[in-house]
Amino acid sequence: MKFSSHWLAQSSAFLFPIFGLALAACGGSSDNPANAAGAAGAQASQSAGAGGAASGDPSKLVGSFQVKLIPADDLGATATTSIVGKINDGPTPVTTIWEEPQPDGDCTLTTPRVPFCTTPCGGSAACVEDDVCLAYPTVHSAGAVTMTGIRATDGSAPLALLLVAGNYQAPPSVPLAYPAFAEGDAVTLAAAGEYFPPFSLSSKGIAPLALKSTGLALKSGQPLALTWTKGAESSATIHVRLDISHHGGSKGQIECETADSGALTVSAALISKLLKLGVAGFPSVIVTRHAIGSTVIAPGRVELEISSTVEQSVTVDGLNSCTKNADCPDGQQCQNDLSCK
């Protein structure tokens, strides 16, 4: 099943004001799948409350609650479960359009285009298509939000989320277990209603993602094989994002949405096309296991995503990545795109 890059850009807009995913050696964006009919892995909830499922446009993503399993890292940080969410009164402008899709199996290569507006959109709107501006939405409260199926380290449940400056989050005083649910457990979110009417939606717990493939290398004319420990939850799917020019301004990316079968091969044809577009320092592949539930309120679609993400570096023939000149071979210097030349 195909993953929508447009949805990914929309969804990321809810994440960036709250937290960012650090990429190797420099800050960057991770992007994260449902279209009007609901994406692969999405479990649609029909409990839309007084907002009225029939009154909203399901193609417009206006709210996102994300439960993330964050693994331990090599710097000593322990594994944690994080929860963050917000709801706007309209969709967030997407300012990069991923187009010219080249599908191949469960994967698609797309290239970016930044639209241009002859008349500037100003600070309250953004250019989302040539000469088309879209106003930035306003975040609002949905009242008290409670989650069931989420466990704290002391075993207590349910969990009442804390609202801070329009963003819902787990209270710092209630440390969450890792993982905060068992695979296949129902995870439900209920909003009591305030600016938005009451609603509820649910998803399923997933197992933390464990990649088995190591030493990933990209070579023209050769496929990329990814393997991981297969999950048991049938509603979960695997999303893959491969953007090897990110630090120099992305020239293109490969995205895949596939069954949680334990293996995926990105074709040699797509890898060759991506390499031809260009490469920058510290290329990586981002693999996510996720399960998504959604419902519709008056302004549009609200999602609950349960996810576990692993980022792994990849090597490219002839590429030396760097953060300073000393990282480069003699006679080469570290460039702005974090590559030695």
Q: For position 188, what pLDDT does the model report? A: 97
Q: For position 74, what pLDDT does the model report? A: 81
Q: Is the pLDDT of residue 8 over 50?
A: no
Q: For position 156, what pLDDT does the model report? A: 81
Mean pLDDT calculated for residue range 243-249? 90
Per the structure, the count of domains in the chain is: 1
Q: Which two tokens stand for residue 61?
A: 């993503």
Q: For position 35, what pLDDT does the model report? A: 34
* In-domain check, residue 20: yes
Q: Which two tokens stand for residue 280?
A: 């920058």
According to the 3-state scheme, what is the secondary structure of 90-150? CCCCCCCEEEEEEEECCEEEEEEECCCCCCCCCCCEEEEECCEEEECCCEECCCCEEEECC
Mean pLDDT calculated for residue range 275-281? 96
Q: What is the spatial distance between Cα 241 and Cα 326, in angstroms, rounded to a whole number?
A: 30
Pairing of strands 284-297, 42-44: parallel
Mean pLDDT calculated for residue range 181-204? 96
Out of 49-63, 75-89, 95-109, 271-285, which region has the weakest mean confidence (pLDDT)? 49-63
pLDDT band at 243 (very low <50, low <70, confident <90, very high): very high
Q: For position 98, what pLDDT does the model report? A: 96
Inter-residue contact 162 to 171 (CB < 8 Å): yes
**Residue pLDDT, tens place only, 233-242:** 888 999 999 9
Q: What is the spatial distance between Cα 5 and Cα 35, in angstroms, rounded to a whole number?
A: 10
Q: Is the pLDDT of residue 270 over 90?
A: yes
From residue 59, alpha-carbon distances to 44, 89, 90, 108 in Å are 13, 14, 11, 21
Inter-residue contact 36 to 59 (CB < 8 Å): yes
Place of tokens 């939405």: 137
* In-domain check, residue 340: no
Please give the DSSP secondary-structure letter assigned to residue 2. Answer: P
Angle at 86 between CA 164 and CA 43, to 5 degrees: 140
* In-domain check, residue 94: yes
Q: For position 189, what pLDDT does the model report? A: 98
Q: Which of 37, 49, 38 is nearest to 298 (CA)?
A: 49
**Residue pLDDT, tens place only, 93-104:** 999 999 999 999
pLDDT band at 144 (very low <50, low <70, confident <90, very high): very high
* In-domain check, residue 333: no
Q: For position 327, what pLDDT does the model report? A: 97
* In-domain check, residue 302: yes
Q: For position 37, what pLDDT does the model report? A: 34
pLDDT band at 30 (very low <50, low <70, confident <90, very high): very low
Q: Is the pLDDT of residue 141 over 60?
A: yes
Please spell the DSSP secondary structure of 172-207, one letter per residue.
TTSPBPSSSS-TT-EEEEEE--SSSPPEEEEEE--P
pLDDT band at 117 (very low <50, low <70, confident <90, very high): very high
Q: What is the spatial distance between Cα 58 and Cα 113, in angstroms, rounded to a whole number?
A: 25
Q: What is the spatial distance between Cα 288 and Cα 8, in angstroms, rounded to a whole number?
A: 12
Q: Comparing 154 with 295, which gets the higher pLDDT?
A: 295
* In-domain check, residue 336: no
pLDDT band at 11 (very low <50, low <70, confident <90, very high): very low
Alpha helix (H) residue ranges in the chain: 5-15, 268-277
* In-domain check, residue 338: no
Mean pLDDT calculated for residue range 105-129? 97
Q: For position 234, what pLDDT does the model report? A: 87
Mean pLDDT calculated for residue range 116-130? 97
Place of tokens 């206006």: 62
* In-domain check, residue 339: no
pLDDT band at 55 (very low <50, low <70, confident <90, very high): confident
Give yes or no for a cis peptide into 179 (omega within 30° of 0).
yes
Q: What are phi and psi of 36, to 5 degrees?
A: -60, -30
Angle at 288 between CA 286 and CA 289, to 5 degrees: 160
Q: By residue range, what is the domain housing residue 33?
A: 5-327
Inter-residue contact 145 to 189 (CB < 8 Å): yes
Q: For position 146, what pLDDT does the model report? A: 97
Look at the alpha carbons of 270, 274, 275, 279 in this order and tell me if their dihedral is positive or negative.
negative
Q: Which amino acid would we find at residue 82? A: S
Q: Which amino acid would we find at residue 109? A: L
Q: For position 53, what pLDDT does the model report? A: 41
Look at the alpha carbons of 198, 202, 208, 210 in this order and tell me if their dihedral is positive or negative.
negative
